[in-house]
Amino acid sequence: MTEKRRRTALQQTSRRNFLKTGGAVAGVLAAPLVLTGRKAFAAPTEINMLAWYGHGEPDVVDEFEKMHNVKFKPKYYAGGDNMLALIAQSPPGTYDVILSDAEFVQQLDAAGYIEEMNPADYPLDDLFPEYRNFPGHWKDGRLYSVIVRFGYLGVSFNTTIVSHEEASDYNVLWEEKLAGKVGHFDWHLPNLGCLSLRDGNNDPSPFDIGDGQWKRLRETTLSLKPQVGGFFDYGGTFSSLKNGQIHAMCGIGDWITGVLQKDGAPVDSVVPKQGGIQWTESFSIGKGSKKQDLVKTFIQYMTSGPGQVRSAQMAAYPGILPYRSGWKALQAANPAEAERQGMVSGKRNAVDLRREGHIHFRDIPRQQSLEDWNDFWSEYKNA
């Protein structure tokens, strides 16, 4: 055999050996890589969320995103009026999940923006009794929204200027030492609701007032204007209290000062003796969403122990949990925060304030229109 023929034979043998051994091994290795790659590197399913700031951020949703290979695309708003306007301007099916203030759920339903929900899909028996049949979430025995968290609104204040005792009366806002240092979060419902309580409108509700009470509330509010140093958006509310521009606000609460306290700001919030307002956040499924099963799973997660812990400690602003399992999980994960927000069973706690009659659910006006209240708020700001 010539040298040329010998080299050719060796090359053919090497090629055959590769196909039998190396090629076979490569095929075995390649197959699972292809299958695994499809699962591991598949593009996540996008879930469009409409919510207050923070609910679509990683500290709340990253665990769920990893578990289900989804990615939230949040659109944020401030105030229920703004939320309704954003939905009205969007094509049907734009938002898969909608976080709304509880008082706006009936309007979302009436406008055809949300889907009916099956009560059996959610842990409603785990709720404290006060929240199982939450007003507005049900219509004719049908469920349209599921509560996830809440908090209380009263007077927030700089503790170096105003004492807890002084802040426990809405009339502190008119004190001379606060001239030019009273601020407002720029939304009419929480502010007018708290000032309505100051006027004694607590039966049946600070939002269910007649013509005479409405006239007096307008007069009360306008009389506060000389004390006011500004009207602020979400970010401005935080900064104005933190930097000392504002020393007191009504209509806000721990959802603002709880965050500032972590940064060392000398601020706190109380429910005054005249009563406080409860803000309530709940999840609904957007009408026409093509991802309703995923959204249902997400709401189930947010109402479970792990989701409730994330909700209570949300970096944007904290909230009180309405689920017993949420309290238990938070007490295990962060007992100091459970104590701070009053979510410890066996001692006077956050739910007791509601049971004792000091808290009224925030609502839309019952004897006036939303436009009436909003128009007056604009008049007040420009007075």
What one-character-per-residue DSSP string does 159-227 give?
A: TTTS-HHHHTSGGGGG-GGGTT-EEEES-HHHHHHHHHHHTT--SS-TTS--HHHHHHHHHHHHHHGGG
Tell me the C-alpha distance between 217 and 348, whole Å. Answer: 33
What is the C-alpha separation between 330 and 336, in angstroms, rounded? 9
pLDDT of 6 higher than 90: no
Residues 286-309 have a mean pLDDT of 98
Q: Describe the crossing of helices 211-224 and 188-198 by its angle, rounded to 10 degrees.
A: 100
- Please tell me what DSSP assigns to residue 304: S
In angstroms, the CA 79 to CA 176 distance is 31
The pLDDT of 31-36, averaged and rounded, is 38
CB distance 261 to 268 below 8 Å: yes
Distance CA 126, CA 64 (A): 21
pLDDT digits 0-9 by tens, 139-157? 999 999 999 999 999 999 9
Q: Do domains 45-149+280-339 and 151-278+362-382 have the same CATH topology?
A: yes
* HSE-up of residue 120 (Cα within 13 Å, Cβ side): 0
Going by pLDDT thresholds of 50, 70 and 90, the confidence category of residue 345 is: confident
Q: Residue 27: what pLDDT?
A: 36
Residue 18, pLDDT > 50, answer no
Can you tell me the mean pLDDT for 106-123? 97
**Over 80: is that where the pLDDT of 356 sits?**
yes
Predicted local distance difference test score (pLDDT) of residue 40: 52
Residue labelled with tokens 């007003």: 135
Classify strands 267-270 and 97-101 as parallel, antiparallel or unpaired. unpaired
Q: What is the pTM of this model?
A: 0.88
> Where do the domains of the chain lie?
45-149+280-339, 151-278+362-382
What SS3 string covers 217-253?
A: HHHHHHHHHHHEEEEECHHHHHHHHHCCCCCEEEEEE
pLDDT given for residue 152 in this prediction: 98
Give the closest residue to 54 by CA, choosing from 305, 264, 296, 234.
234
What homologous superfamily is domain 45-149+280-339 in, according to CATH? Periplasmic binding protein-like II (3.40.190.10)
Q: Which residue from 84, 383, 372 is spatially nearest to 209, judged by alpha carbons?
A: 372
The residues near 140 (Cβ < 8 Å, ≥ 6 apart) are none
CATH H superfamily, domain 151-278+362-382: Periplasmic binding protein-like II (3.40.190.10)
**Do residues 122 and 277 touch, judged by C-beta distance below 8 A?**
no
Instruction: Say if strands 142-143 and 97-101 run parallel, antiparallel, or are unpaired.
Output: unpaired
> Does residue 54 have a pLDDT over 60?
yes
